[in-house]
Structure 1
């Protein structure tokens, strides 16, 4: 397999700016240099990470500024586009190489064909080896891409990237559609890659394997040495320093406000005294007019200085608050629902449809105090199981007993009416809570006054998930069992951490599907129901 050369690879940003169609700036004046080090690119959703990735790859030009590239770059987008005619070779980005090789085999002596092939005469074998290493040995070069699942399509695209002989790979959310085992395999493969990497990701295990982290925020790009743990510690220190600075500036602003009030009072007294003296003075009208004009001009300048001091103090506080990003703790206000849980919450037995024979039969019981993760490879029936638990009409022959109210949060959060505001929906669900109480609860969840009054479809992914939890839990009869299907998918790091906090606070029963072991480890689970080669097996969480 061709090895990339990493001696001189670099991507350098000089004053890079991206302007949106409405004229607003997504980001501006970015300066940074990426080299052969494996780099994680992080930031909140909507800040422009994918756009920046395309600019670094050369598929999108900046509105202003320059991006200088040294070395061959390969970009794998977050969403893999597939049309009906594409094959595995097309998805892997190897079509030009395969076509050139085929023409040579048919007798072509054209130099461009030999230039394309180079020394890669065994690319057919290399592709099959890479596919097999990614668990895709059942695929061939000519397999139609339309037959692939989202996870399979991403793995094929990654195989093509590893075979591309690029000097640097730009991978946009490469683990999003992968199950736990394939996420681990991807991280191992990235560690073995000798070229540079820019991984746009919220996957903390993947980020931990990086040499450094670069964060894109409304303040620009900030580099942190080390993997995710180092980055998280550095961010925590920055937040604490920012909090201290903000507290100091607020106290200083209050002191300055008091002094400005005193200055204003002194100015008013001088003006009043001057007016009284002028009224009793025996001077010519023209002299009195000049004196009054000078007094008013002096007062105006003094007032302007006071207002400028006030604006400057407010600006310093605002800038400090901007440096301290919105990371307020979220709070879930609920009655102690665990006090009212029965001893047995779920009893379930069924034959799952459309899965391999070893995954077909499933039988389990969920007891009071248990919080369960459903894990296993893609296609083993995890989402199907949640749907069967959520439906009031289980299939024939299934045994389904759920003794508490359950709320099902599927991947599309369909329990929400996307065209209505959250507040409107919450008022319809609550006969005993007034609007002020609901607004307070939603504010503690991190949903502001504006957000709860606009259509749900306009909220961010993290906000919609909080809205769905509120819909399920902030009612006269809150759910005592949550069924969550990959709730952490497509959330940024801040939103994932907020979700972890909320689920730790929730004292009811929980059944959750996720491929992110870091997430699962942080939400207080007690058991795992895993789809293994031997079928479904329950074990204590470790």
Structure 2
């Protein structure tokens, strides 16, 4: 099977001089390929190189056939109607004028009589066959607009499609549309995503790291299994390297002690040997040369063992997920931390988004709020936090709360991580602050970084550190789409942190893998 895309010896450096990748080789055929890696490693840049947005600084990018790009979302500010979004507005208007009896000779000359049937076919493949091609996009939901974007791809029939985080900010309907599309796609696809449901539709996973690219056969679950074996092998390698380094260090120490004892004995016997000074000096020179060669050999062996050990340590750091330690909230099992009793509310008191809503969270229960975009999930969280007052009904809160939104707005971007922690935990000592931040991997000078300088994963980790790292974590933690814009390593780190937290959770998320990983027990669908 011929390759649709070939990258040979491709290198790229950022404007700030940071090398993203060097001498990178990659070949893609038909089928779906997921591109994964930490944020900042260069996934989006690589996609732009493939799309031809700019040329690589060295190496070549060769494409065979046509290329299509799936927009993350189709906004009615970009396109007015469905045919606008599908790129055929003018051709469709030509047919429309002819059908209405207003066609000109020029219209008849350029009319594409297959256009309408091809449009209907493309829309039908994404479940939008009943949609009027002239319908205004502003009347469609976010998930429906995503389906229109997919229909536009199907209509243009590219050989290779590029998708950059296609499910970010999409509701469940939009995510399902993208998943179903990829399941039935017959061409080639290169997909940058942290959505594990999407990655399960892949035929292969390509991991981009500072070491280059590595291809794993199979989908996300197969990739994780292979990575698990790599971690086990790396841990065995580290154990062997640590043992070898310790044995070598002891061996060198014993040899040095024997040499010192022998040299000391030689010096004591020098005056008693009755030999000339010339002979004694020559013997001492030979001994010193032998000692020097032995020291050089020992240094080389020590350096080699140290390099092997450092390599094993760095390999473990590259492969293993992050882990955290969190103090206990000690919330009593039967304590009601949040209760809605027939609550109505919303930003506009005359037209409440939340209507007659009732639920209760007790002890360490974990609840997920789901529903399409615009159904009132964020409004519910604002009511829970007291930022909005209900128009009617009763709302009960008990104990300390904390909320982390997508932007982690509780952090002051102009302050350091340490300053933010002290502001949010005024009773903590300096040692408490440092120890808490270290548990979330902000050690020493890294705690002095400005919040504005942090990546998406780092800023959420800093927010969790400030909220959960104190001596008294909150009884209830509220999270609004916490995994949006995070790479998979960061998502898994957040899952680890939340599993170590023993308080109650109220979470808005469309990421079903994330909700399953953090042990959601109750669901509320809006």
Q: With structure 1 as the length reference, what TM-score do the two structures score?
A: 0.82
Deviations 1:374-423 (A, max 9, x none): 11111111112212222345154464321222112111111111221222
Is 1:62 aligned with 2:70? no
Is 1:523 aligned with 2:515? no
What displacement does 1:437 show?
A: 3.8
Is 1:318 aligned with 2:310? yes
Which region of structure 1 is more displaced relative to structure 2, 350-359 or 466-475? 350-359
Contact 2:353 2:379 in 1 (8 A): no
Which region of structure 1 is more displaced relative to structure 2, 348-357 or 328-337? 348-357
What displacement does 1:273 show?
A: 6.9
Deviations 1:24-61 (A, max 9, x none): 31111222211102111111111111111122222232
Equivalent residue number for residue 4 of structure 1:
none
What displacement does 1:205 show?
A: 0.9
Is 1:219 aligned with 2:214? no
Q: With structure 2 as the length reference, what TM-score do the two structures score?
A: 0.84
Question: In 2, Cα distance between the equivalents of 1:202 and 1:424?
Answer: 31
Contact 1:9 1:168 in 2 (8 A): no
Question: In 1, Cα distance between the equivalents of 2:446 and 2:508?
Answer: 28
Aligned pairs (5 A) from 1:448-459: 448-459=443-454
Equivalent of residue 489 in structure 2, options 490, 494, 503: 494
Equivalent residue number for residue 420 of structure 1:
415
Question: In 2, Cα distance between the equivalents of 1:54 and 1:99?
Answer: 33
Which region of structure 1 is more displaced relative to structure 2, 435-444 or 97-106? 97-106
Residue 510 of structure 2 aligns to a residue whose secondary structure is coil
Deviations 1:322-350 (A, max 9, x none): 32225255234222432276236222511
Aligned pairs (5 A) from 1:400-415: 400-415=395-410
Equivalent of residue 179 in structure 1, options 142, 159, 171: 171
Question: In 1, Cα distance between the equivalents of 2:296 and 2:348?
Answer: 75
CA gap of 1:170–1:101, structure 2 versus 1, over 3 A, is farther
Which region of structure 1 is more displaced relative to structure 2, 185-194 or 51-60? 51-60
Contact 1:355 1:379 in 2 (8 A): no
Equivalent residue number for residue 255 of structure 1:
247
Question: In 2, Cα distance between the equivalents of 1:124 and 1:356?
Answer: 44
In structure 1, the gaps of 5 or more residues are: 1-6, 532-542
Deviations 1:192-214 (A, max 9, x none): 11111111111111111111211
Question: In 2, Cα distance between the equivalents of 1:244 and 1:378?
Answer: 47
Question: In 1, Cα distance between the equivalents of 2:3 and 2:323?
Answer: 43
Equivalent residue number for residue 234 of structure 1:
226
Residue 450 of structure 1 aligns to a residue whose secondary structure is helix
CA gap of 1:298–1:154, structure 2 versus 1, over 3 A, is farther
What displacement does 1:478 show?
A: 2.9
Deviations 1:133-164 (A, max 9, x none): 3669778569589x988767655443322222
Residue 243 of structure 1 aligns to a residue whose secondary structure is helix
What displacement does 1:318 show?
A: 2.0
Question: In 2, Cα distance between the equivalents of 1:166 and 1:279?
Answer: 93
Deviations 1:164-196 (A, max 9, x none): 211111111111121112211221111111111
CA gap of 1:77–1:182, structure 2 versus 1, over 3 A, is closer
Equivalent residue number for residue 373 of structure 2:
378
CA RMSD for the aligned pairs?
Answer: 3.9
Equivalent residue number for residue 44 of structure 1:
38
Equivalent residue number for residue 3 of structure 1:
none
Aligned length: 515
Equivalent of residue 343 in structure 1, options 336, 358, 378: 336
Is 1:17 aligned with 2:16? no
Contact 1:488 1:496 in 2 (8 A): yes
Question: In 2, Cα distance between the equivalents of 1:517 and 1:214?
Answer: 23
What displacement does 1:295 show?
A: 6.1
Question: In 1, Cα distance between the equivalents of 2:521 and 2:154?
Answer: 38
Aligned pairs (5 A) from 1:351-366: 351-353=345-347, 360-366=354-360
Deviations 1:284-312 (A, max 9, x none): 6xx99888777666554443333222222
Contact 2:70 2:150 in 1 (8 A): yes
Residue 156 of structure 2 aligns to a residue whose secondary structure is coil
Is 1:208 aligned with 2:194? no
Question: In 1, Cα distance between the equivalents of 2:261 and 2:71?
Answer: 68
Which region of structure 1 is more displaced relative to structure 2, 214-223 or 344-353? 344-353
Contact 2:328 2:502 in 1 (8 A): no
What displacement does 1:85 show?
A: 7.9
CA gap of 1:127–1:289, structure 2 versus 1, over 3 A, is farther
Contact 1:429 1:475 in 2 (8 A): no
Question: In 2, Cα distance between the equivalents of 1:357 and 1:430?
Answer: 38
Question: In 1, Cα distance between the equivalents of 2:57 and 2:501?
Answer: 46
Residue 483 of structure 1 aligns to a residue whose secondary structure is strand
